[in-house]
Structure 1
Amino acid sequence: MFCYQCEQADRSGPIPGCSLIRGTCGKDETTSALQDLLIYQLKGVADYAAHARSVGAGDDEAAGFLAFAMFTTLTNVNFSQTRFVEFIRQADQYKTRLKESYEEAALKSGSKPEVLSGPAEFTPAATTEGLEEQAASLGILAGIDEVGPDVIGLRALNLYGLKGICAYIHHAEVMGYTDSGIYKDLEDALVYLGTDPSDIEDLLEHALGLGRTNLAVLDMLNRANSGSFGTPSPTTVRTTPVKGHAVLISGHDFPGLKALLEQTEGTGINVYTHGEMLPAHGYPELRKYPHLVGNYGGAWQDQQTDFANFPGPIIMTSNCMIEPRQAYKHHIYTNGPVGWPGVRHIADHDFSEVIRAALALPGYVSTEEAKEIPVGFGHDAVLQLSDEVLDAVHSGRLKRIFVMGGCDGASPGRNYFRDYAEAVPDEALILTMGCAKYRFNDLNFGELNLSGNVDVPRLLDVGQCNDSYSAVRIAMALADALGCEVNDLPLTMVLSWFEQKAVAVLLTLLALGIRNINLGPTLPAFLTPAAIDIVVERFGLHLIGDDPLSDLNNAMAGAAS
């Protein structure tokens, strides 16, 4: 196997990446091969989908499958060989359907259908062993001897950014929000990658195009969340247990949480969020359920300890799954794109089996003293204070705004973000999103007086990783009000990256022209030193250093200049 799509990639070899029989994430070589083959197969599906769309036979259902199938290949999402074989078979069925639709529509329009080649003509083998053999020449490093590692790395930048976009597309789709224009961009991007592009400038421009597509996707997802569950508003969330039976739900699937709350209403079961589900408490249509009692645990990489200590069943709804320990393997469930061999998978949102398990398990035997953290500071909530924020900037009460978010992880160096946040001066605000907030959201940052009697928490939880859209909206509104460019704002971005959603968000920020982003703790293994030099020079990226205080002082010096 070979995989270097996430920050966990082994960096000990001549080419950084996991290349043994098992990746750092727990993915085995067969699963890795099947994922590679699925991506290749999806390029062929997209080729017929794009051709069909060009003659008026667009198939949004098939495009939705493309997004979902791509999502399953993200880091720490799905580890089930059986399901990947199923996805490859499904992809072949969609390709046949799209081929027929394209040829029929082309003939009706008076044009001769093209005979497509490459991934479009690929036929998967009949056995898993045969699929593995086919995948051997189709991995991420295919063609490296011809085009070199710089090009391969920039192809990967496009592919991994697209994977992140597909995850966000699927999150919106499960709430009924779709967009044919976005589906077209997805199909075109896969077709582009299927041509094995090798021009570095073209690859960089295409990556920025993906960033613009992701901005449209994040806007759609924001509308989906608010349209389904109301506009987020500030509230506090309990982080200590309440006596009673308990269910824990992790991931990003708010509709899944809503279904769980509906199905557990009146059962005596308390529901706890975990990880990226924490922002759910900011949505009025979710927090109105009194048995949504709080948030449990830390970031995803702590789940093996956290889940082993949770006295009820656990539901994993999207990415961030780690190999379950025996202590809880018998009462963890997967849903949506997630999968692990031997773990029960729930189709749709029927949680009846989970409810039975919750009632059979002890739950919490006592209620602990309440501890709370604030959430719900989306762009609507923050922009309601825009006049006060501007007044505080002009008066000097607010020296700087720090955007600190992204994906957390277990790699060395991530204490940097806690040390940095602790040292942020009292006259600054921190906006945070994504699971990186767990590095410091247990700290008491106090409040900042903006204007008159208006005090706000110095740590403002904007939401999930996809809510980087909110941070962008806030920054653009402030820049407009101050009559300056975003890059001239008293704003510092300190972002941690881990997997492919983070790549998609970064491409969006770069596409918007935002410069001087501080990124770390390491840069992606798939970008060669030469490719990193190009990206750093062109977009002004900064790799965070070993000394958070020095980096913070440099940021504040910029505020004073």
Structure 2
Amino acid sequence: MYCVQCEQSNKGGCAVKVGSCGKTAQVADMQDVLLRLMQGVSVYGDRAARAGARDADVDAFTPHAWFTTLTNVNFDETRFAGLISRALEIRDKAKVCAENAGADLSDLPEPATWNPGTTPEEWIAAAPFAAIQRFMDRDGPSIVGLRNLILYGLKGTAAYSEHARVLGTEEAAVSAEFHRISAFLATDPVDVDALLAESLAVGALNLKVMELLDAANTGRFGHPEVTMVRMTPVAGKAILVSGHDMGDLEAILQQTAGLGINVYTHGELLPANAYPGLKKYPHLVGNYGGAWQDQQKDFAAFPGAIVMTSNCLINPEIRGYADRIFTAGPVGWNGLPHIEDHDFSPVISCALAQPGFEEDAPEERIPAGFARNTVMGVADTLLGMIKEGDVKNLFLIGGCDGARPGRNYFHDLAVNTPQDSLILTLGCGKFRFNREDLGTIKGIPRVLDMGQCNDAFSAIQVAVAVAGALNCEVNDLPLHYGISWFEQKATAVLLTMLHLGLKRIHLGPTLPQFLTPEVLEVLVEKFEIRPTGDAKEDLARMLEAA
């Protein structure tokens, strides 16, 4: 198999049988087949949209199918067999929609008509025709790398779109633009300028999708409030909810009300503790554990049931908790029970059968809930602090965490920032430093947890508002970026930042393998992207440029 979509990729992207994430070659092949078919779906979806037509089933299936192919989401061959079969049906449905709308269906690219067969054996045999490196010899690594930049950006955008969709928020224009960019990929483009332009188009689309997800979350659960989140367990039966899906968390809270089961968030769900519509449940008692890469240790020590609602799943079989972990939504692992229709009764039964925590641990709490509404609510105070010199620099430090060496960079960067600076943070990268006491400025914590990785939308809105109030461009602000890259959601957010013209982003600790030196040179020249180096040296350069 060949895979370079995340930092777990083996050097060169090659693995004989199993990837570093645990994905088998068969699953990797089936994911490639699914994505090639989905590009064909988008060819018809795009042409239908141009003719003023759409199919709701096509638009609903598209982000879900793409989401399943993200890093550490779905490892289940059986589920992918079902997804490929459904993709073939959806492609036919999209074609009919386009035909009925009178769309021009001439000159169709290969994915629109490709026949990979109808059985898993045929799909595996056909996988080389869907492989991302198929045209490496013909087009070269830089062209393939730029196509992958778009492909992986679309994966991240699809994940955010699916999070919004399951909460009842979607827009036809967003689906149409997704189909357009995906259909562009289906042509196997080779023009560098066109590829760069479409990369930024992914960033623009992702900005809109993050706005929709923000509206979905706040419309359903209210705007986050500053909340001291408990980080240590309390006595009682327990369920741990990991991933990103707050709709699943809400369903679990509703179904466990009055049963004597405490519910904990994990990883990217920590910010859920600050939403009024979720924290109103008294049995949402706090967060347990740290970032996703520590889950095997955290989950093995957790004396209850565990639910994985979205990406970041690691092999549950080697640490003895496979009998009490469940998957939901796009997630899958061979042999693990999968929750359907938001019925978490099997999880509840499992939790009641587990010992739970015997006693309260010493209490420890950290602040969360500094999303855009909270920060904008004290905008005058913040602007006054900037104008008066109490706050001289702003840092956005966050993104994905991971296990590869070098990620202490983000801890070292955060703890060495001057005392007259504020740190905006989001994503699971914040677990590198969110339990450090970095002090306050006039009563405001120096570390402001803005939420999940998709809450980059909040950070962007705050930066734009501050720049507007100070009558300057965002790039003229004393705002510095330390972004930890790991997987496709981070790729989508990075493309959004580039779409907005944000410059001098320090990105690391390693750069994506699909960014060849030639492509990286273009990004460095155009956007001044800087690979992370020594944290103190980078910090000195940031402050010197302020």
Q: TM-score, normalization: structure 2? A: 0.98
Q: Note the 1:273-352 alignment, pairs <5 A.
A: 273-324=265-316, 325-352=318-345
* CA-CA distance at 1:115 after TM superposition: 6.8
Q: Specify the code of the residue in structure 2 equivalent to 1:557.
A: E
Q: Specify the code of the residue in structure 2 equivalent to 1:548.
A: A
For residue 25 of structure 1, what is the aligned residue in structure 2?
A: 21
* CA-CA distance at 1:326 after TM superposition: 4.5
CA–CA separation in structure 2 for the residues paired with 1:81 and 1:192:
28
Q: Is the 8 A contact 2:426 2:452 kept in 1?
A: yes
CA–CA separation in structure 2 for the residues paired with 1:414 and 1:317:
25
CA–CA separation in structure 2 for the residues paired with 1:164 and 1:413:
24
For residue 477 of structure 2, what is the aligned residue in structure 1?
A: 489
Which of 348, 353, 356 is the matching residue for 1:360? Answer: 353
For residue 385 of structure 1, what is the aligned residue in structure 2?
A: 378
For residue 158 of structure 2, what is the aligned residue in structure 1?
A: 166
Q: 1:136 aligns to what SS in structure 2?
A: helix
CA–CA separation in structure 2 for the residues paired with 1:364 and 1:326:
19
For residue 439 of structure 1, what is the aligned residue in structure 2?
A: 432
Q: Specify the code of the residue in structure 1 equivalent to 2:7.
A: E
For residue 5 of structure 1, what is the aligned residue in structure 2?
A: 5
Q: Is the 8 A contact 2:296 2:319 kept in 1?
A: no
Structure 2 unpaired stretches of 5+:
none
Q: Is the 8 A contact 1:53 1:59 kept in 2?
A: no
Which of 56, 77, 80 is the matching residue for 2:76? Answer: 80
Q: Specify the code of the residue in structure 2 equivalent to 1:460.
A: L
* CA-CA distance at 1:154 after TM superposition: 0.2
* CA-CA distance at 1:105 after TM superposition: 2.8
Q: Specify the code of the residue in structure 2 equivalent to 1:321.
A: L
Q: Runs of 4+ in structure 1 displaced over 4 angstroms?
A: none
Q: Specify the code of the residue in structure 2 equivalent to 1:549.
A: K
Q: 1:322 aligns to what SS in structure 2?
A: coil
CA–CA separation in structure 2 for the residues paired with 1:412 and 1:369:
31
Which of 535, 539, 542 is the matching residue for 1:548? Answer: 535
* CA-CA distance at 1:137 after TM superposition: 2.8
Q: Specify the code of the residue in structure 1 equivalent to 2:538.
A: D
CA–CA separation in structure 1 for the residues paired with 2:104 and 2:447:
60
Q: 2:101 aligns to what SS in structure 1?
A: helix
For residue 419 of structure 2, what is the aligned residue in structure 1?
A: 426
Q: Specify the code of the residue in structure 2 equivalent to 1:338.
A: V
Q: Is the 8 A contact 1:316 1:332 kept in 2?
A: yes
Residues 30-60 of structure 1, C-alpha deviation per residue, up to 9 Å, x if partnerless?
Answer: 0000000001011111112222223333113
Q: TM-score, normalization: structure 1? A: 0.96
Residues 141-167 of structure 1, C-alpha deviation per residue, up to 9 Å, x if partnerless?
Answer: 111111111100000000000000000
Q: 2:321 aligns to what SS in structure 1?
A: helix
Tell me whether 1:456 sits opposite 2:441 in the alignment.
no
Q: Using a 3 Å threshold, how does the CA distance of structure 1 residues 296 and 100 change in structure 2: closer, same or farther?
A: same
Q: Is the 8 A contact 1:400 1:491 kept in 2?
A: yes
Which of 87, 91, 94 is the matching residue for 1:95? Answer: 91
Residues 324-377 of structure 1, C-alpha deviation per residue, up to 9 Å, x if partnerless?
Answer: 035100000000000001111111211001001111101001011210011000
Q: Specify the code of the residue in structure 1 equivalent to 2:58.
A: A
Which of 251, 267, 272 is the matching residue for 2:243? Answer: 251
CA–CA separation in structure 1 for the residues paired with 2:79 and 2:490:
25
For residue 136 of structure 2, what is the aligned residue in structure 1?
A: 144
CA–CA separation in structure 1 for the residues paired with 2:483 and 2:144:
25
Q: Give the aligned length.
A: 545
For residue 56 of structure 2, what is the aligned residue in structure 1?
A: 60
Tell me whether 1:123 sits opposite 2:111 in the alignment.
no
- Bigger mean CA offset, 48-57 vs 143-152: 48-57
Q: 1:336 aligns to what SS in structure 2?
A: coil
- Bigger mean CA offset, 343-352 vs 306-315: 343-352
Q: Is the 8 A contact 2:58 2:93 kept in 1?
A: no
Which of 63, 66, 73 is the matching residue for 1:70? Answer: 66
Q: Is the 8 A contact 1:479 1:485 kept in 2?
A: yes
Which of 29, 34, 38 is the matching residue for 2:34? Answer: 38
CA–CA separation in structure 2 for the residues paired with 1:556 and 1:538:
21
Residues 195-253 of structure 1, C-alpha deviation per residue, up to 9 Å, x if partnerless?
Answer: 00001111001100111111110111100000000011101100111110000000010
Residues 121-157 of structure 1, C-alpha deviation per residue, up to 9 Å, x if partnerless?
Answer: 1223232121111002321111111111110000000
CA–CA separation in structure 2 for the residues paired with 1:476 and 1:98:
39
Give aligned-pair identity as a percent: 49
Tell me whether 1:518 sits opposite 2:506 in the alignment.
yes
Q: 2:313 aligns to what SS in structure 1?
A: coil
Residues 54-102 of structure 1, C-alpha deviation per residue, up to 9 Å, x if partnerless?
Answer: 3333113211211110000000000011111110100111111222222
